[in-house]
Chains A and B, each alone.
Chain A
Amino acid sequence: MKGSVIFSILLGLILFSSPVIQEPCSNVSMLYGTAYAEQDWKTEFDDICGRTQDAMAYSPEELRKLVERCDKIKPLIEKLGETERKVYLRRLEMCRELFVFTLESKEKK
């Protein structure tokens, strides 16, 4: 029993360190990573900019958080293709500006 556990661990370590296994593995993870990131910016964008209707209802803290989230996805959008980048940067800017504007007006009160 003990021997088979040690054997399994050793086999796992050998396979993990093998370049044959490691190369495709890292590519796969990179691909998944990219796919996830692409998916991620759109989901995040929809979630942030889908809240502009309620901008006045948010607290200053919530608005600050939304502005931060806008700033966070901007570099991801900047990496997109020419047209997509142009369209979504403008859309992002419009919702970011609205949140900043609402935040400033609330803080002035």
Chain B
Amino acid sequence: MNRLLFGVILVIVSAAMVSAQGGVKKKRPLPDEFGRVIINNNSEKAGLAPVVFNHWLHRSKFTCRLCHVDVGFAMKAGTTGIKAADNARGFYCGSCHNGKKSADNVQMFEACSKTAVPADKTRCMRCHSLGKNVTPKYDFAEFTAGLPKGRFGNGIDWEKAEETGVIKPVDYLEGVSIKRKAITAQKDFALSPKLEGMPEIIFSHKKHTLWNGCELCHPEIFVGVKKGTTKYSMVEIFDGKYCGVCHVSVAFPLTDCQRCHTKQVQ
């Protein structure tokens, strides 16, 4: 009898726990899938497969600021509303992928050409590849073999890769970016966690401005300049707000606690 009661309670508790999580356990993405964005504003309407965009390849060559400020890509997937015509006019993907510009001495293919013919299908499928059997030009394992390893996300320590000069993310795009002097980084500061016993967070402006500049984070993501103005919790961060805008999807993930909670408990 007791066993039966225990069994019933166990089933109820398990069901409650599952339903509390929305019934679906999130699958942790594989290293090459981390930061992947599927763009399907207009692709399927135009009879093409949705675009698969890999952040890892692009972030190894360009700063976040270059694409999300100068080129104009929104921070939330699917909200830019990119059209093939935009790319063909030399904006968004077409800012670089115009068949003329090059990165690391490799000429970049032209995206969404006005004169595309069926023979260009292979080129179209370099981006419009969701569900297609496309061999990517850059193999993730091969490409990242020489990069410093990280524990989560892409399995790459991008910060270290930049610091040690293994990657040199470009922050200026001719004809798109504005020539400007180097940024004066604001001071680093400590944030006290709400949970007692958790190490304090040391926020480095220097590390962040190097990739993001100022306007990528302020005021769209963080509305307060003064320490303590923006109040947020880990729940909100895990929900993709504040630090979570990047650190859930592209930058090292929130499971890598010690990357932020670095100051020793006194």
Contacts and interface: CB of A to CB of B under 8 A. Distances in A.
Interface of A: 46, 49-57, 81-84, 86-87, 90-91, 94-95, 97-98, 100-102, 105, 108-109
B86 A97 contact: no
Nearest to A47: B178
A91 B180 contact: no
B1 interface: no
Nearest to A98: B215
Contacts of B182: 53
Contacts of A90: 72, 74
Given A105-B225, A105-B229, 9 more contacts: A49-B178, A53-B180, A83-B83, A84-B91, A87-B72, A91-B72, A97-B215, A101-B219, A102-B225
A84 B71 CA distance: 11
B137 interface: no
A93 B81 CA distance: 17
A89 to B, nearest CB: 9
> Most B CB atoms within 10 A — which of A49, A50, A52, A57?
A52
Contact of A101 (B85, B89, B213, B223): B223
Interface residues of B, number: 32
A37 to B, nearest CB: 19
Contact of A50 (B180, B186, B220, B226): B180
Nearest to B216: A94
Nearest to A88: B72
Contact of B184 (A53, A82, A87): A53
B218 interface: yes
Nearest to B74: A90
A82 B218 CA distance: 26
Contacts of B69: 91, 94
B119 interface: no
A105 B226 contact: yes
Contacts of B178: 46, 49-50
Given A87-B72, A94-B215, A95-B215, A53 B223 contact: no
B214 A98 contact: yes
A94 B214 CA distance: 10
Interface in B226-247: 226, 229
Given A49-B178, A50-B178, A53-B213, A83 B85 contact: yes
B89 A83 contact: yes
A36 B225 CA distance: 38
B100 interface: no
B78 to A, nearest CB: 15
Contacts of B220: 94, 97
B45 interface: no
Given A53-B214, A105-B224, A105-B225, A87 B179 contact: no
> Top 9 A-B pairs ranked by shortest CB distance?
A105-B225, A101-B219, A50-B178, A87-B72, A98-B215, A53-B183, A83-B86, A94-B215, A50-B180
B230 to A, nearest CB: 11
Contacts of A54: 181, 184
A52 B213 contact: yes
Contacts of A105: 224-226, 229
